[in-house]
Amino acid sequence: MADIEDFLARRKQEGLLRSLKPASFRKGNKINFSGKEYIDFCSNDYLGLSFDPRIIEEIKKAADRFGTAVCASRLLSGDLDLHHQLERKVAGFKGKETALVFNSGYQANLGIISSLYGKGDCVFSDRLNHASIMDGIALSQAKLFRFRHNDTRHLKDLLEKQRAKFKKALIVTESVFSMDGDTAPLKELSELKEKYGCWLMVDEAHATGIFGDTGAGLVQQEGLEEKIDLIMGTFSKALAGFGAYLAASQLVVDYLVNTCRSFIYSTALPPAVIAGNLKSIELVEKEPERGKSLLSLAEYFRGCLSEKGLEVKGCSQIVPVIIGDNQASERIAFGLQQKGYWVLPVRPPTVPVGQARLRLSLNVYHDKKALEKFADDISKLKV
């Protein structure tokens, strides 16, 4: 027990102790903690769909018709037509032959990578990939090679030196990076994967709903559906639902249904969740302009921040403001909270040492005027 206590004491002393903070209410871009209201810059509800009455209606109807839950794995009695309807919808949306729904993005990445790859195989992973991708690789026991963030020359060197020593090989990346808000060079990655005989997996958690003609993501925007073997994404961010999916070939999905432990040994998502996910894809396809206007709002906000001399990264709805020093980022985040902005510092080990930052997520409820004032408030606290 002593080691657990020591660990927590040390974390606290370093100002890095994580703890939960329950909100009493959240809606739109407002969040309420113990009676105080803040403008929320931490939520991934980018399109503001979490209170869309059309989605809520479908969720209610499904709960009335199918009950609260299915109480079994998909392979037992938990599989409904509704799950397959969602999978057909996702396949069409993402431009792949078929799709498989997972209970969360974490479970999807863990299961997909660890079922398809094993000892004797290798995985080339962007240094900034999400923890769930890293954990999937670790569980697979494939040999891991990390390439510098978005650095296709580094990746090419690694492929040149290492690829031939292994049986199967995977290149894996996020399409929009969650901590840097930038996008992966998907076209170059797909050329490298062809040249070196690898598969390419793309995690579209933050791109779905925002990028692409019908909001399907960055793969759609770049027209690379056919080149990318495994397109993974979540319902839990812009789609304001829950769960995740893999869009891929029928062969891959059949294989995962037979081997993927995080799919097989977990209860199917409740019908109401599935129905909500279905509706939200339909809305995004019908109204993709929400994502586009969010991107132009983010572009405007980046301009405001740069004008104030702040260091800003990315090219998406995720706007990281680099502060550098851990203590300074805490002080600024706390100062912003006192002004009514819900902003948290992101520090190592989540981001590299010396790159502590404020990670600001925009959503459709933010407006230009308020963002101008916000940029001003940040710059005043920075000095």
Ligand X SMILES: *Cc1c(COP(=O)(O)O)cnc(C)c1O
**Closest to ligand X by CB, 175 or 220:** 175
Residues 161-190 that bind ligand X (CB under 6 A): 174, 178
Catalytic residue check, 104: no
Catalytic residue check, 206: yes
Q: CA-CA distance, 169 to 121, in Å (whole number)?
A: 6
Minimum distance, C-beta of residue 111 to ligand X, in the bound complex (Å): 12
Q: CA-CA distance, 38 to 132, in Å (whole number)?
A: 30
Name the residue number minimizing CB distance to ligand X. 105
Q: Quick one: which of 202, 205, 256, 269 contacts ligand X (CB under 6 A)?
A: 205
Q: Quick one: which of 110, 244, 268, 312 contacts ligand X (CB under 6 A)?
A: 244
Phi, psi of 36 (to 5 degrees): -105, 135
Q: Quick one: which of 43, 132, 277, 355 contacts ligand X (CB under 6 A)?
A: 132
Does 245 contact ligand X by CB under 6 A?
no
Minimum distance, C-beta of residue 37 to ligand X, in the bound complex (Å): 25
| Per-residue H/E/C for 137-187 | HHHHCCEEEEECCCCHHHHHHHHHHHHHHCCCEEEEEECECCCCCCECCHH
In the chain, what is the greatest distance between 2 CA atoms, to the nearest angstrom?
60
29, 40, 43, 44: which is the annotated catalytic residue? 44
Does 234 contact ligand X by CB under 6 A?
yes
Going by DSSP bridges, is the β-strand pair 318-324/311-312 parallel, antiparallel, or unpaired? antiparallel
Contact (Cβ atoms closer than 8 angstroms) between residue 120 and residue 166? yes
50, 115, 178, 190: which is the annotated catalytic residue? 178
Q: State the amino acid at position 310 in one-letter form.
A: L
Does 203 contact ligand X by CB under 6 A?
yes
Per-residue b or e along 332-352, where b marks 16 or more CB atoms closer than 10 Å to that residue's CB: bbebbeeeebbbbbbbeeebe
Of the candidate spans 118-126, 201-209, 362-370, 373-381, the one that interacts with ligand X by CB under 6 A turns out to be: 201-209
**Closest to ligand X by CB, 29 or 236:** 236
Catalytic residue check, 44: yes
Find all residues with CB under 8 Å of 143, minimum gap 6, and list them: 121, 122, 123, 162, 166
| Per-residue H/E/C for 118-143 | CCCCEEEEECCCCHHHHHHHHHHCCE
Minimum distance, C-beta of residue 343 to ligand X, in the bound complex (Å): 18
**Closest to ligand X by CB, 201 or 378:** 201
* Residue positions annotated with a catalytic role: 44, 130, 174, 178, 203, 206, 237
The residues of the shown chain that bind ligand X, judged by CB under 6 A, are 104-106, 109, 130, 132, 174, 178, 203, 205-206, 234, 236, 244
